[in-house]
């Protein structure tokens, strides 16, 4: 039986504006959930996303609506049935995983039969700006093993070329965030190959991606907004070659793990991503990241101030949080 549930909004200012095709973010607005049982506290964090009709207030209300059931002992399995995928379920799912592991004194990694955490190569993001500014930003992280380039439909090739000049050796992901058309996708194929782009993430709007059926891309295309849970996979076959698993889309690690296993079985490459969030939002995603071909978990690196025992970037590698930060 829980002895307490705490739900708090929190805003983390960013050190620089985060610009993508649909807008600019200057702070990470999150919802933090804490579940207390005995002397143990489990924590979770989620990022309500307007693209999916979410807000901080609505997510808090969703979590609050389950207070009595949670305090009566509702677990993760029932949570999957009571809440749909999204930020509210993610925050609660993460807090339940954390609490369970602390009560059991068995780490989440061990429960998933995973090895201890190790440093990982994460994508570092270059946001939309002038080509000159993007080249300068890329030069500043040229030693990164993987760079993600945010673009829109306004001369994306010039921006990708600028980043490639700044970082000649890095692997590249290009992310238009649903801003392209199928014609623009066709027009950019030669440039994407010439600039050695490894992955193209969600170029078309998710409700217009039927145009991808029958289109043979020279660069693997990754579903982001088009893929939330394992139930989406069948519709992605023949359109995408990879999927981006984000816990705020799946509604937590429980469904993310199910999606990972199902996607691998169907031959999709795996990318694990995040919203701009703190290390508390990243920690559960690290359980998926071990099995991903592409890792994009630099959200906390955009914060002016993160949890002091959270993830850090050292020598181009994402270092895991301190022991005991989340998940036992």
Active site residue ranges: 150, 246
Contact 285, 270 (CB under 8 A): no
165 vs 88: CA distance, rounded Å? 41
* Block residue for tokens 């994009």: 296
* Strand, helix or coil for residue 309: coil
Look at residues 192, 142, 191, 193 and name the one whose alpha carbon lies nearest to residue 163.
142
The DSSP bridge pattern shows strands 221-223 and 242-245 to be: parallel
Query: Who contacts 57 (Cβ-Cβ below 8 Å, separation ≥6)?
Result: none
Query: Who contacts 321 (Cβ-Cβ below 8 Å, separation ≥6)?
Result: 279, 283, 307, 309, 310, 311
């Amino acid at each position: 039986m829980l002895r307490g549930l705490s739900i708090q909004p929190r805003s983390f200012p960013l050190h620089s504006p985060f610009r993508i095709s649909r807008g600019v973010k200057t702070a990470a607005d999150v919802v933090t959930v804490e579940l207390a049982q005995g002397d143990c506290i489990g924590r979770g964090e989620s990022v309500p996303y307007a693209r999916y009709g979410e807000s901080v207030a609505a997510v808090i209300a969703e979590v609050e609506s389950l207070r009595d059931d949670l305090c009566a002992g509702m677990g993760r399995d029932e949570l999957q049935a009571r809440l749909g995928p999204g930020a509210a379920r993610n925050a609660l799912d993460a807090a339940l995983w954390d609490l369970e592991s602390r009560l059991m004194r068995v780490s989440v990694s061990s429960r998933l039969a995973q090895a201890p955490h190790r440093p990982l190569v994460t994508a570092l993001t270059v946001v939309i700006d002038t080509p000159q500014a993007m080249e300068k930003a890329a030069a500043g992280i040229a030693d990164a093993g993987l760079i993600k380039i945010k673009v829109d439909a306004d001369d994306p090739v010039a921006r990708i070329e600028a980043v490639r000049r700044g970082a000649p050796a890095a692997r590249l992901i290009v992310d238009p965030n649903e801003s392209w058309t199928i014609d623009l996708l066709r027009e950019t194929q030669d440039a994407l190959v010439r600039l050695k782009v490894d992955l193209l993430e969600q170029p078309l709007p998710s409700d217009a991606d039927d145009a991808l059926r029958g289109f043979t891309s020279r660069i693997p295309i990754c579903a982001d907004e088009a893929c939330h849970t394992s139930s989406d996979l069948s519709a992605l076959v023949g359109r995408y070659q990879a999927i981006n698993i984000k816990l705020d889309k799946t509604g937590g690690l429980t469904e993310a793990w199910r999606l990972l296993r199902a996607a691998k079985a169907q031959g999709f490459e795996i990318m694990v991503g995040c919203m701009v969030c703190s290390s508390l939002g990243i920690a559960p995603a690290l359980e998926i990241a071990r099995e991903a071909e592409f890792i994009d978990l630099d959200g906390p690196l955009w914060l002016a101030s993160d949890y002091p025992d959270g993830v850090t970037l050292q020598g181009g590698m994402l270092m895991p949080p301190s022991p005991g930060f989340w998940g036992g």
